[in-house]
């Protein structure tokens, strides 16, 4: 598996440090409030598990499953909700926990859908931001790290459902997905 990685982009230590800082910022910004953390499976599962423990607030957590990718490396923009949020959003301060914001098509679709349920607020916390890929106007309030235009895997992120279990984020060798 390691042979397929061109370069480590974020080490375990860097991820831990960034997650701590983001959790601290969210804790300060939402002081006295109760937040609902919504994570999008499967990619964000590792980040969610780590960041929720860095947020010192009363919070509830929920998960969504969506699909927009197939097995390629570019989003189709065709978002399908496979599992919706169970908790009612009305009046809630919602933070969407994402692994990576690329074209923004997935989050744009989800946010528009969730806004109709009248949450008090809705923000995005993403570990990685790839602004070069943006097609929809979506901005995350909390960003761990901006990444270059390359396909990354690990720490929850997959290529064709694999590499999610790598403890770091790395750039996948292009020959892995072009062959
Ligand atoms: P978007 O709709 O293009 O913003 O796609 C967002 C989703 O695509 C993320 O939640 C990831 O699951 C996936 N994705 C985007 N870029 C990458 C990447 O470089 N590696 C792995 N998954 C990615
Ligand atoms: Mg994914």
159: confidence class by pLDDT, cuts 50, 70, 90? very high
Ligand 1 centroid to residue 136 C-alpha, Å: 13
Region for 13 from its dihedrals, namely left if φ exceeds 0, alpha if ψ lies in -120 to 50, beta otherwise: alpha
Whether the per-residue pLDDT at 70 is higher than 60: the answer is no
* pLDDT score of 178: 86
155 CB near ligand 1 (under 6 Å) = no
Range of the domain at 152: 2-177
162 pLDDT band, cuts 50/70/90, is very high
Ligand 1 atom with least separation from CA of 104:
4
Query: Within 30-165, where are the H helices?
Result: 45-51, 105-115
What is the three-class DSSP state of 165? Answer: coil
Total tally of structural domains belonging to the chain? 1
pLDDT at 67: 82
Contact status, residue 126 vs residue 155, Cβ threshold 8 Å: no
Cα 35 to middle of ligand 2, angstroms = 24
Residue 71 has pLDDT above 60, yes or no: no
pLDDT at 179 over 80: no
Is 108 a pocket residue for ligand 1 (Cβ < 6 Å)? no
Q: Please state whether beta strands 5-10 and 93-101 pair in parallel, antiparallel, or not at all (unpaired).
A: unpaired
Tell whether ligand 1 has an atom less than 6 A from the beta carbon of residue 129: no
Asked whether residue 27 carries a pLDDT value surpassing 70, the answer given is yes
* CA 133 to ligand 1: nearest atom: 3
pLDDT higher than 60, residue 36: yes
Q: Which ligand is nearest to the CA of 128?
A: 1
82/3 Cα distance (integer angstroms):
33
Choose the catalytic residue: 50, 93, 99, 102: 102
Average pLDDT value for residue range 67-85: 77
Domain CATH for 36: 3.40.50.2020
pLDDT at res. 1 = 86
Distance 7 CA to ligand 1 centre (A): 18
């Amino acid at each position: 598996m390691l042979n397929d990685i061109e370069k480590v982009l974020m080490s375990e230590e860097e991820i831990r440090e960034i997650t701590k800082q983001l959790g601290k910022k969210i804790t300060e910004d939402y002081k006295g409030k109760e937040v609902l953390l919504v994570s999008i499976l499967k990619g964000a599962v590792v980040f969610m598990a780590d960041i929720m423990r860095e947020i010192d607030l009363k919070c509830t957590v929920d998960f969504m499953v969506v699909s927009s990718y197939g097995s390629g490396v570019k989003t189709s923009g065709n978002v399908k909700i496979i599992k919706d949020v169970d908790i009612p959003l009305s009046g809630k301060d919602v933070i969407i926990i994402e692994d990576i914001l690329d074209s923004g098509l997935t989050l744009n679709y989800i946010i528009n859908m969730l806004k109709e349920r009248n949450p008090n607020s809705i923000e995005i916390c993403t570990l990685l931001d790839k602004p070069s890929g943006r097609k929809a106007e979506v901005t995350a309030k909390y960003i761990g790290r901006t990444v270059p235009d390359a396909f990354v895997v690990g720490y929850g992120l997959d290529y064709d459902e694999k590499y999610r279990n790598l403890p770091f984020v790395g750039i996948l060798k292009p020959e892995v997905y072009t062959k």
